Structure 1
Amino acid sequence: MKSQKEIWRVILAVALCIVGVLHFAVPTPFIRIVPPQLPYPEALVYISGFFEILGGIGLLVPPVSRAAAWGLIALFIAVFPANINQAVNNIPIEGIPHNQLLYWFRLPFQAVFIAWAWVYTQPDEGKPRASIVPDRTEKTPMKQFDYSLDFKNIDFRQHPELYRVGRGEQGVLLVEPYKGEILPFWRFKTPEIARESSSKIYSLFLEYLDREDFVGADMARKFLQMGYTRSRRYANHKSGRKYQQNPQKLKSVAEQTAARKDILPLQADPLKAESAAIFLEKWMLAKINEKYLELLARHRQMYESYLVNAED
């Protein structure tokens, strides 16, 4: 099933990023298993860790995901001698049971990892896939989010035909009654609060799906996405402001362009970065949910596809 394939894509990507980070955080165990014939073992560990992180992220970026998968296949082959060296020379690694048979048993699984990555070298045929960037590959023109509606007086549960998915988080603070149902639970001040908030909003997402309420599910998805994007903004800028002046409040395109170049200095906040990662996980699960994708396709077909003139 398509959603299962995308769930496994996310699992592989997250696992690679975690292992890649470990190459930098605790490099010693990885250095120990580098074959002695190879020079600069510490540098090789850092390089392989960098490409594991890069490949994991690349799997979730549709324009480069297939290239990333091929790169990961090459990486899995390149690091295999280290696994062989560990098994042949019985090199212990802290945190892993010291058993040479276990090291030998690990070797065939490298083929499993290669096959796992190979799955994502194949064309997706335009089907939705897990992504950390907006998908711009829609082939059927869709209507943009309509900000001209009378949002104060429209009940979108009663009138789902008026709802437009738009891009990203468009309309997240406008569409009722869903804004009133979801916003009270939206918080990201600390990782603990973000975990509780994202879990609650994701449970609402599933409840909307159970009722086949696409608008509610999409609004919950947007709040999860906004939890990630806002947390990331505060992770990079403690004030929550990215630009010296808000480009959206400027009238001319030239002024907006200039304002977007005037970015405030980075002030990293690791707690907000952790909150962002928590929301990202739930957002990705929502995006690849099979029923959500089915309802999304149905909604777009019914209400958002432009009619094509048969004479064109």
Structure 2
Amino acid sequence: MIPLIALVGGFAVLRLLGLLALDGFNAWQPALRGGLALMFVTTGVPHFIASWRRDFVAMIPPALPRPDLLVTLTGVLELAGAVGLIVPPLAPLAAAGLALLMLAMFPANVYAARGGLTLAGKPMTPLPARSALQVVFVAAAVAATL
């Protein structure tokens, strides 16, 4: 739920600031990219916090090699993508890459939800809700590519 709050809240605040004063956010797309960047910072940073990292490693399906390396790689890609979203010439490419990354990571979310795993001591979001959120997140990233 925190990523959704970051996305929607970040978009709303930036859009409001754009309407009031900040020329860079006076259109919906830059505000959306800013909200996405905030979302990916909130999801990327925990990849490097020990207690969260263990849970992320546990989410990797056993068929995939080096779950610790995959968690590091996805965390780095999320944070790099967040930076790319706020650099106008890179933003469309970053948004497209993040949309593909979310699709690639979705099997880990399915595995975690079906396996009853926890994240930071809390149960994973149930699969139907997680799937709906994923559609929203990927749609936002695709919209940010336009």
- TMscore range, shorter length: 0.7 to 0.9
- The yes-or-no answer on 1:37 pairing with 2:37 is no
TM (norm. structure 1) is 0.36
1:16-95 matches, cutoff 5 A: 16-26=40-50, 27-95=53-121
CA RMSD of aligned residues (A): 1.7
Note the 1:96-115 alignment, pairs <5 A.
Answer: 96=122, 98=123, 102-104=125-127, 105-115=129-139
Structure 1 residue 108: Cα displacement: 2.2
Q: Report Cα offsets for 1:228-257 as digits up to 9, x if no partner.
A: xxxxxxxxxxxxxxxxxxxxxxxxxxxxxx
**Which of the numbers 32, 35, 41 marks the counterpart of 1:8?**
32
Paired residue total = 119
CA shift at 1:95, angstroms?
Answer: 4.1
Structure 1 gap segments, 5+ residues each: 123-312
User: 1:256-306, CA deviations, whole angstroms, 9 ceiling, x for partnerless residues?
Assistant: xxxxxxxxxxxxxxxxxxxxxxxxxxxxxxxxxxxxxxxxxxxxxxxxxxx
Flag the 1:62–1:5 CA change in 2: closer, same or farther, 3 A.
closer
Secondary structure of the residue aligned to 2:118 is coil
Gaps spanning 5+ residues in structure 2: where? 1-14, 16-25
**1:205-229 Cα distance to aligned partner (Å, 9 max, x none):** xxxxxxxxxxxxxxxxxxxxxxxxx
Report 1 or 2 for greater relative contact order, CA contacts < 8 Å, sequence distance ≥ 6: 2
Secondary structure of 2:64's counterpart equals coil
Q: Is the 8 A contact 2:96 2:142 kept in 1?
A: yes
8 Å CA contact 1:86, 1:103 repeated in 2: no
CA drift of 1:107 comes to: 2.0
TM-score with structure 2 length normalisation? Answer: 0.74
Q: Verify the 8 A CA contact 2:33 2:91 in the aligned structure 1.
A: no
Matched residues in 2 for 1:41 and 1:47: separation?
A: 10
- The higher radius of gyration belongs to 1
In the aligned structure 2, how far is the partner of 1:65 from the partner of 1:5?
10
**Structure 1 contact 69–118 (Cα < 8 Å) conserved:** yes
Q: 1 CA distance for matches of 2:59 and 2:142?
A: 26
**CA shift for structure 1 position 25:** 1.8
- Is contact 2:33–2:85 with CA below 8 Å preserved after alignment? yes
Q: 1:124-168 CA distances to partner (integer Å, 9 max, x unpaired)? A: xxxxxxxxxxxxxxxxxxxxxxxxxxxxxxxxxxxxxxxxxxxxx
Where do 1:242-281 residues align within 5 Å?
A: none
1:106-255 paired onto structure 2 within 5 Å? 106-122=130-146
% same residue: 35
